[in-house]
Amino acid sequence: MKLSSMEKKIIEESIRDIKDFPKEGIVFKDITTLLNNKKAYGVLMNHLYQKYKERNLQYIAGIDARGFIFGAALAQMLQIGFVPIRKKGKLPYTTISEKYALEYGIDEIEVHIDAFGEEKGARVLIIDDLIATGGTANAAATLVKQTGAVCVECCFIIGLTFLDGIKKLEQKTQVYSVIEVN
């Protein structure tokens, strides 16, 4: 399922660029303007539903925190389970975790050990708002695999193709970006 040029334009025009945030030289892609635009959000969610409805998924895993917004809505539309992949220390039950490098240090995400059910091989789609360097997404894909589930694909609303995150992640799983920024 491919976006029409009109659908792509609706989504792209709903995303606000904020220059020099969070620091000088960075152009931040602000999706809050997409979320409060009912037409753009509807076009996006319908596109994702159409793309994934025949993929035989069992779970959507959303990466903390913007991945929750898209992932939970898509899981409900597909009538499958939603699993949050959280920052360290936010989940109450037994977890597994994965560390990843940041520009200035290391961070860690985790998931409940039984998040994808008791049977091995559950088919999971990971979703987040944006992929840049890919550290968080790679850690999420590793966590899914460690639970015994299968990461079918990683989906991002925005893919920054001028960074190497997508290429790194493609070594683990398929990657789809709704909008690509070169």
12 is catalytic: no
- Which of 66, 108, 170, 180 does the annotation list as catalytic? 66
Distances (CA, A) of 130 to 58, 112, 158: 23, 23, 5
Average pLDDT, stretch 81-103?
95
Q: Which domain holds residue 65?
A: 55-181
The per-residue pLDDT for range 96-110, each reduced to its tens digit, is 999 999 877 899 999
Is 80 exceeded by the pLDDT of residue 58?
A: yes
| Average pLDDT in the chain | 96
The pLDDT value given to residue 105: 84
The CATH number for 154's domain is: 3.40.50.2020
Please state the domain count of the chain. Answer: 1
103 is catalytic: yes
Q: Quick one: CA dihedral 165, 35, 70, 67, positive or negative?
A: positive
